[in-house]
């Protein structure tokens, strides 16, 4: 495939008749069209090269592979070639990835291509399914609108009655552009994004070396591959000596450095000295996982993954599904007298969204594939009475997602959300017809409301209910640790000095040093310790050798951490017959006292634990060793932000119930010991004393796991009936 600008002497024929390739598709031939503001053209150069142009954007499309290449723009009278030969590892420059990222595939269906051209161009490739050996049909669409400085993308997955079971995951559309198009004067590029933290939204500008800027480094020291897609760039001159390159002041770069919550994310992009490109999300309706799902924001628009929370799109054998993703918009712009800053260019990209949505209402091919114009959608008015709605609307999140499914792992249908006022009322417009679960949560409060079987049509749907926050006592909590916002943001290493989530913490800290005061057991004393002093992750095993670099100029690959391991770790590991990296630390301790008045509040001690994430862990809780065995919790939803530089994943919620008689006398120090079998991130902990058990059949709240001792003093877990 050629990756240079079009040589017009090779143009064979300009296609302006949309019937040319659609003669056998009568339904598509009758699709709605838009009045043409300028000619959009498609030119067949050869059997492997079709050239599309709208006067601003020009690209090559390979009908045998479905890949885009040779993309150029004319903005402010300047032509920019966004691609260079060899820039893409996939052989083309704009690509869906991974084409084969689904299970139970033993062969690959053939790829065919087609297009619709009338006022706009919708050009697509279809990889067919093969019953029994390739269980998905995948269709990728690229769309050019007249006089539009960008390209739209959407995708359809089709699973037919003859197809076997499969799971589809980690899907993104990528733009492998040239360094030359996005390089600043100092050799770096700038990633610009807004609303990147659930706890503290705000602009993030991150600079890092372009490929050409790192070429000399890689030639002299290619770095040490320590995990998949994680490279240690520490200079071999000594432990903690960083290579000095613009934008690279740390040991590690991974793709997880660049990610964001989809709750407020509208666009992200790369800004050079002259030009910028942006991935714009006109609507998150076809993405997965609800507002707390995090996506990577590199060169890609990632719209499906199980990283940092989320779920694969699963298809049962024989299930007939037409799953639509998108549309997403790749927008190009450049500095001029109006747009003089990166923020201006970002706003220019975001401000295209109203026009994008208007265009989609009339994009006929898209409509024929399951997308619906807003005139055919519904409006949902939701009113939830309750006692703790925040006066700050952005704290009151109400979600529409897959019916009968935890919103965090919804992946089959559509999703929407809005922000309730202080009375618990919100209107969500432009909802695709279907059956939904309504979920609601309040930042700063424990609990998750839900209501299933909400049927939305083309008109207005009214939903009512009551959402009381999950308080298990009529009295104030004895104590609360952390802020229940579904993240570990407020704890040590969870955030930077500017309040943003720390998404670059690999190599920043020494966990064994953080817990050295307790010889591996972190000790939290209520009233003295602050959340910012508590590590944001509780590990069972911590493997710092991955992140320590090489030591003292050695070129043998010796891990630097071996030389700085605390003595208590070495001693403990030797006693267990383990290496320091394999030492399992003791349980954490949470120490507190109660007053006589608090102990008189009721017969039950109720410890609520909200986890921002757990990674294949069990959680064991004991109170002053009063029982022969701990309460052992097996959280349902596992996620992996501890490995992927996040501070939250899938939320899990449990209430641990003890008797007030288990407490020591008023004024004496009680201790909860909490042991995690793998890795957990705390969101918040709350201790209450009350008169009622936390049994969901009594409280009427079905979304938390309840752990208690039965009449035989045996630890018992009752899993949530509607998490």
Dist. CA 367–CA 369, nearest whole Å: 5
Note the pLDDT of residue 383.
Answer: 98
Q: What pLDDT is recorded for position 543?
A: 62
Q: Which among 335, 368, 401 is the end of a domain? A: 368
Same domain, 288 and 354: yes
Burial (Cβ within 10 Å: 0-12, 13-18, ≥19) of residue 341: exposed
pLDDT score for 393: 93
How far apart are the C-alpha atoms of 341 and 118, rounded to whole Å? 36
Indicate which CATH number applies to the domain containing 483.
2.60.120.260
Taking residues 341-353, report their average pLDDT. Answer: 96
CA atoms of 444 and 613, how far apart (whole Å)? 17
Overall average pLDDT of the 440-445 stretch? 95
Q: How many Å apart are CA 272 and CA 187, to the nearest integer? A: 9
- The H or E element containing residue 141 is strand 137-145
Note if the bond before 529 is cis, omega within 30 degrees: no
Q: Which residue has the higher pLDDT, 553 or 256?
A: 256
Q: Is residue 191 part of a domain?
A: no
pLDDT top residue among 15 and 243: 243
Find tokens 């004991």 and name the residue.
622
Give domain status of residue 223, yes or no.
no
Please give the structure tokens belonging to residue 631. Answer: 């309460």
Whether 551 maps to a domain, the answer reads yes
Q: How confident is the model at residue 3 (pLDDT cuts 50, 70, 90)?
A: very low
Q: Are both 553 and 653 inside the same structural domain?
A: no
On the question of pLDDT at 674 being above 60, the answer is yes
Out of 153-167, 198-212, 302-316, 327-341, least confident range: 198-212
Q: How many domains does the chain have?
A: 4
Least confident piece of the model among 217-226, 409-418, 564-573:
217-226
> Is cis: bond before 396, omega within 30 of 0?
no
- Looking at the fold, whether 609 and 687 belong to one and the same domain comes out as yes
Q: Tell me the residue range of the domain where 528 lies.
A: 479-540+588-718
**Six-digit token string for 259:** 């990610």
Domain closes at, from 555, 584, 613: 584
Could you tell me which residue, 723 or 543, shows the higher pLDDT?
A: 723
Nearest-5° Cα angle at 266, 264 to 271:
125
Mean pLDDT for 286-307 is 90
Residue with tokens 């006692």: 387
CATH number of the domain within which 274 lies:
2.70.98
| Mean pLDDT across 593-620 | 97
Q: What is the mean pLDDT of residues 59-67?
A: 90
Q: Is residue 683 part of a domain?
A: yes
Q: Are residues 661 and 689 in the same domain?
A: yes
Q: With beta carbons less than 8 A apart as the criterion, state whether 116 and 20 touch.
A: no
What is the residue whose two structure tokens read 């799971």?
167
pLDDT given for residue 582 in this prediction: 78
Q: 44 pLDDT exceeds 50?
A: yes
Domain membership flag for residue 294: yes
End-to-end C-alpha distance for the chain, whole angstroms: 50
Each residue's pLDDT tens digit, 90-145: 444 565 544 457 888 888 889 999 999 999 999 999 999 999 899 999 999 999 99
* Per-residue pLDDT at 324 exceeds 60: yes
pLDDT of residue 171: 86
3-state secondary structure 436-505: EEEEEEECCCCCCEEEEEEEECCCEEEEEEECCCCCCCCCCCCEEEECCCCCCCCCECCECCCCCECCCC
Q: State the pLDDT at residue 121.
A: 97
Q: Dump the DSSP string for 32-101.
A: -----SS--EEEEEETTEEEEE-SSEEEEE-TTT--EEEEEEEETTEEEE---TT--TTSSSEEEE-TT-
Phi and psi for 646 in degrees, rounded to 5? -120, 170
Kindly give, in sequence order, each residue whose CB lies less than 8 Å from that of residue 337, ignoring residues fewer than 6 positions away.
none
**Tens-place pLDDT, residues 225-282:** 555 555 555 543 333 344 443 333 334 567 777 888 988 899 999 999 999 999 999 9
Q: State mean pLDDT over 299-315.
A: 88
pLDDT of residue 585: 84
Q: Report angle CA 493, 499, 500 to the nearest 5 degrees.
A: 75
Last residue of a domain, one of 442, 466, 490: 466
Residue 255 domain-assigned (yes or no) = no
> Measured between alpha carbons, how far is residue 280 from residues 90, 346, 348, 485 in Å?
23, 10, 11, 26
Lowest-confidence range among 223-237, 251-265, 586-600, 618-632?
A: 223-237
- CA nearest 280: which of 213, 377, 347? 347
Query: What's the pLDDT band for 26 if we cut at 50, 70, 90?
Result: very low
Both 390 and 506 in one domain: the answer is no
Percent of the chain at pLDDT above 90? Answer: 61
Give the pLDDT of residue 104: 86
Taking a C-beta distance cutoff of 8 angstroms, is the pair 170, 306 a contact? yes
* Residue 146 and residue 88 share a domain: yes
pLDDT in the model for residue 39: 86
Exposure letters 404-414 (e unless 16+ CB within 10 A, then b): ebbbbbbbbbb
Residue 643 is assigned to a structural domain of this protein: yes
Q: What's the mean pLDDT when you consider all of the chain? A: 84
Q: For the residues 512-538, what does the mean pLDDT come to?
A: 92
Mean pLDDT, residues 562-589 taken together: 82
Residue 627 shares a structural domain with residue 532: yes
Question: Is the whole-model pTM more than 0.85?
Answer: yes
Q: 613 with 704, same domain?
A: yes
Mean pLDDT on 300-315:
88
- Do 116 and 172 fall within a single domain? yes
| Residue 192, in any domain of the structure | no
SS3 691: coil
338 and 454 both lie in a single domain: no
Please check whether residues 637 and 655 belong to one and the same domain.
Answer: yes
Per-residue confidence (pLDDT) for residue 454, from 0 to 100 = 98
Q: What integer is the mean pLDDT of 645-673?
A: 96
* 382 lies in the same domain as 364: no
How far apart, in Å, are the Cα atoms of 365 and each of 18, 28, 111, 119, 127?
12, 7, 19, 12, 17
């Amino acid at each position: 495939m050629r990756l240079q600008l079009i040589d017009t002497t090779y143009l064979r024929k300009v296609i302006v008749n949309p019937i040319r390739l659609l003669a056998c598709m009568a339904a598509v031939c009758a699709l709605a069209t838009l009045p043409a503001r300028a000619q959009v053209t498609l030119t067949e150069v050869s059997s492997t090269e079709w050239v599309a142009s709208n006067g601003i954007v020009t690209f090559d499309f390979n009908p045998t592979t479905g890949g885009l290449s040779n993309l150029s723009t004319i903005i402010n009278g300047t032509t920019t070639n966004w691609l260079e030969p060899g820039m893409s590892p996939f052989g083309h420059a704009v690509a869906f990835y991974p084409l084969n990222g689904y299970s139970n595939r033993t062969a690959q269906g053939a790829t065919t291509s087609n297009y619709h051209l009338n006022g706009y161009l919708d050009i697509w490739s279809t990889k067919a399914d093969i019953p029994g050996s390739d269980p998905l049909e995948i269709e990728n669409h690229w769309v050019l609108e007249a006089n539009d400085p960008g390209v739209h993308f959407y995708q359809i997955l089709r699973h037919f009655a003859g197809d076997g079971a499969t799971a589809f995951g980690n899907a993104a559309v990528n733009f492998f552009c040239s360094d030359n198009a996005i390089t600043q004067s100092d050799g770096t590029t700038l990633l610009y994004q807004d609303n990147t933290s659930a706890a503290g939204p705000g602009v993030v500008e991150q600079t890092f070396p372009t490929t050409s800027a790192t070429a000399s480094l890689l030639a002299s020291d290619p770095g040490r591959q320590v995990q998949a897609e994680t490279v240690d760039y520490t200079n071999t001159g000594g432990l903690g000596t960083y290579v000095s390159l613009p934008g690279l002041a740390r040991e590690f770069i991974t793709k997880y450095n660049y990610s964001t919550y989809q709750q407020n994310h509208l666009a992200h992009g790369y800004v050079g000295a002259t030009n910028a490109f942006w991935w714009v999300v006109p609507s998150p309706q076809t993405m997965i996982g609800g507002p707390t799902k995090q996506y990577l924001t590199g060169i890609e628009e990632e719209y499906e993954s199980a990283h940092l929370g989320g779920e694969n799109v699963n298809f049962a054998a024989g299930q007939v599904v037409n799953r639509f993703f998108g549309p997403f918009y790749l927008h190009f712009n450049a500095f001029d007298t109006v747009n003089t800053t990166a923020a201006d260019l970002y706003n220019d990209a975001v401000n295209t969204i109203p026009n994008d949505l208007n265009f989609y209402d009339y994009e006929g091919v898209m409509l024929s594939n399951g997308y619906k114009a807003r005139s055919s959608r519904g409006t949902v008015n939701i009113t939830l009475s309750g006692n703790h709605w925040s006066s700050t609307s952005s704290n009151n999140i109400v979600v529409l997602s897959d019916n009968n499914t935890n919103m965090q792992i919804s992946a089959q249908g559509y999703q929407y959300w809005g922000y309730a006022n202080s009375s618990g009322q919100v209107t969500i417009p432009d909802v695709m017809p279907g059956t939904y679960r309504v979920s609601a949560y309040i930042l700063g409060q424990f609990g998750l409301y839900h209501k299933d079987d909400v049927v939305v049509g083309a008109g207005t749907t009214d939903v009512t209910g009551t959402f009381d926050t999950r308080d298990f006592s009529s009295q104030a909590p004895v104590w609360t640790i952390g802020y229940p916002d579904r993240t570990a943001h407020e704890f040590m290493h969870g955030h930077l000095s500017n309040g943003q989530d720390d998404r670059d913490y690999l190599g920043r800290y020494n966990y064994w040093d953080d817990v050295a005061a307790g010889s591996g057991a972190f000790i939290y004393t209520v009233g003295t310790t602050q959340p910012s002093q508590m590590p944001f992750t509780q590990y069972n095993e911590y493997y710092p050798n991955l992140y320590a670099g090489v030591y003292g100029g050695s070129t043998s690959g010796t891990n630097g951490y071996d030389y700085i391991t605390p003595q208590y770790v070495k001693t403990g590991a030797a006693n267990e017959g383990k290496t320091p990296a394999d030492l399992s630390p003791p349980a954490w301790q949470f120490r507190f006292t109660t007053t006589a008045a608090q102990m008189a509040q009721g017969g039950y001690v109720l410890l609520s634990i909200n986890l921002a994430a757990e990674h294949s862990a069990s959680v064991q809780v004991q109170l002053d060793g009063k029982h022969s065995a701990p309460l052992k919790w097996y959280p349902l939803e596992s996620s992996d932000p501890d490995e992927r530089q996040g501070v939250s994943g899938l939320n899990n919620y449990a209430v641990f119930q003890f008797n007030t008689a288990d407490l020591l006398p008023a004024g004496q120090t009680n201790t909860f010991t909490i042991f995690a079998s793998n890795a957990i991130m705390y969101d918040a902990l709350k201790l209450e004393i009350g008169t009622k058990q936390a049994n969901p059949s009594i409280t009427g709240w079905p979304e938390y796991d309840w752990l208690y001792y039965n009449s035989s003093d045996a630890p018992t877990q009752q899993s949530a009936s509607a998490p």
